[in-house]
């Protein structure tokens, strides 16, 4: 195989770090360029070249990424955050390389939870009841307020009594469904546009990140129906993620969509769903992804330390480090 260059954004987050570990696990001849808004993160030791970049919504972000792509002769960009997915998608014509993205419209819809709710309602796709704060008059038995474009679990207001003081531009209100939280990763072939497969896991979170999960298959048929509707109307490509609640009576309520490779990618690749590898196979090597064969199992996440005995100089995997 010819050596290729892949740029992974947001390597300071668990999504980006999972993508990096999965790329390395393929053992493909890939040079990895990593970017982040911080000079140092837990992802630096996994990349061959590192660049500090502005926030994606800042004016210089796109020009900075374009410059890196040209300098490093990048073949593929894999965004790991919703904001970067959005801004890279709407500026995709500025780049000489491929971007692992469904395109501007899905990226816009699924960046904003309120736009997601409205779009799903319009198309008849299941989604938890949602409204703007100004329209909330206590119509939900239990309610939760969320930032429309929030990341992780930050800014949540559970068991909301009143939406007074919450801005329509920043927040939305959802019916708070109680039950088991599941996360479903879906992959659609970039080459054929066909549904390739999915995996669903029950999970527990801390600070917005998965700490425990186990593969479950009893909801696959229903989740596949939802995924097919989303694909039909939104022309989704590549990897995306559906977060849902399963109530005591077995009803499934999706409540958030991530239009990108999601945070459990490092876990699910060991259970037969290798969406990072699918992405590399299609967009780097022009070959169809391998068949999905889901295995059962359970996974936990734990803390680890990266020690730099001589300090940090290059900010990439050339620095001497110890994993403990």
Give per-residue pLDDT as tens, 6-61.
999 999 999 999 999 999 999 999 999 999 999 999 999 999 999 999 999 999 99
314 is a domain residue: no
167 is a domain residue: yes
Q: Is 30 in the same domain as 62?
A: yes
Q: Is 209 in the same domain as 274?
A: yes
Which domain, by its residues, includes 12?
4-101
Q: Is 154 in the same domain as 195?
A: no
Q: Does residue 291 come out as left (phi exceeding 0), alpha (psi in the -120 to 50 range) or beta?
A: beta
73 is a domain residue: yes
Instruction: Give the DSSP per-residue string, 176-226.
Output: ---SEEEEEEEEE-TTT--EEEEEEEEEEEETTEEEEEEEE-TTHHHHHHH
Residue 15's domain is classified under what CATH number?
Answer: 3.40.50.720
Q: Is 266 in the same domain as 224?
A: yes
- Residue 228: what are its φ and ψ, rounded to 5°? -60, -40
With a cut of 70, which residues of the chain have pLDDT below it? Answer: 150-153, 207-208
310 is a domain residue: no
321 is a domain residue: no
Q: Is 226 in the same domain as 244?
A: yes
Q: Is 85 in the same domain as 13?
A: yes
Q: CB within 8 A of 299, min separation 6: which ones?
A: 212, 213, 214, 267, 270
* Neighbouring C-beta atoms of residue 24, cutoff 10 Å: 14
Q: CB within 8 A of 291, min separation 6: which ones?
A: none
Q: Is 210 in the same domain as 160?
A: no
For residue 288, the 8-state DSSP code is P
Give the pLDDT of residue 220.
Answer: 96
Q: Is 198 in the same domain as 273?
A: yes
Q: Is 79 in the same domain as 66?
A: yes
Nearest to 115 by CA among 229, 240, 259: 259
State how far Cα 33 lies from the chain centre: 19
Give the pLDDT of residue 246.
Answer: 96
Q: Is 241 in the same domain as 158?
A: no
Give the pLDDT of residue 155.
Answer: 84
Rounded to whole angstroms, how far apart are CA atoms 190 and 288? 9
Residue 188's domain is classified under what CATH number?
Answer: 3.30.470.20
What total of structural domains would you count in the chain? 3
DSSP 3-state of 234: helix
Q: Is 288 in the same domain as 188?
A: yes
The answer to whether 19 touches 8, Cβ cutoff 8 Å, is: yes
230 is a domain residue: yes
119 is a domain residue: no
66 is a domain residue: yes
Q: What is the pTM of this model?
A: 0.94
The answer to whether 25 touches 50, Cβ cutoff 8 Å, is: no
């Amino acid at each position: 195989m010819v050596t290729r260059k892949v740029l992974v954004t947001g390597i300071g987050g668990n999504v980006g770090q999972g993508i990096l570990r999965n790329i390395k696990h393929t053992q493909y001849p890939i040079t990895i360029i990593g970017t982040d808004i911080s000079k140092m993160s837990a992802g630096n030791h996994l990349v061959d070249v590192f660049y500090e970049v502005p926030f994606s919504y800042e004016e210089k972000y796109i020009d900075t990424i374009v410059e890196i792509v040209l300098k490093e002769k990048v073949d593929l960009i894999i965004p790991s955050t919703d904001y970067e997915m959005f801004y890279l998608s709407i500026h995709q014509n500025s780049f000489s390389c491929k971007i692992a993205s469904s395109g501007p419209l899905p990226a816009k819809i699924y960046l904003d939870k309120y736009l997601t709710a409205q779009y799903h309602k319009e198309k008849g796709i299941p989604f938890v009841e949602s409204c703007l704060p100004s329209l909330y008059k206590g119509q939900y038995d239990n309610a939760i307020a969320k930032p429309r474009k929030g990341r992780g679990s930050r800014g949540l207001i559970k068991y909301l009594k009143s939406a007074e003081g919450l801005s329509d531009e920043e927040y939305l209100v959802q019916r708070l469904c109680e039950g088991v939280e599941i996360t479903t990763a879906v992959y659609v072939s970039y080459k054929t546009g066909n549904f390739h497969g999915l995996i669903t896991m029950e999970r527990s979170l801390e600070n917005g990140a998965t700490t425990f999960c186990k593969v479950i298959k009893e909801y696959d048929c229903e989740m596949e129906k939802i995924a097919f509707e989303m694909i039909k109307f939104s022309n989704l490509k590549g990897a995306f993620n559906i977060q849902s609640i399963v109530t005591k009576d077995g009803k499934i309520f999706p409540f958030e969509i991530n239009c990108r490779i999601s945070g459990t990618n490092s876990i699910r690749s060991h259970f037969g769903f290798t969406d990072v590898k699918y992405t590399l196979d299609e967009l780097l090597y022009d070959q169809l992804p391998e068949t999905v064969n889901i295995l059962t199992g359970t996974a936990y996440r734990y803390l680890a330390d990266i020690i730099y005995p001589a300090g940090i100089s290059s900010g990439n995997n050339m620095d001497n480090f110890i994993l403990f």
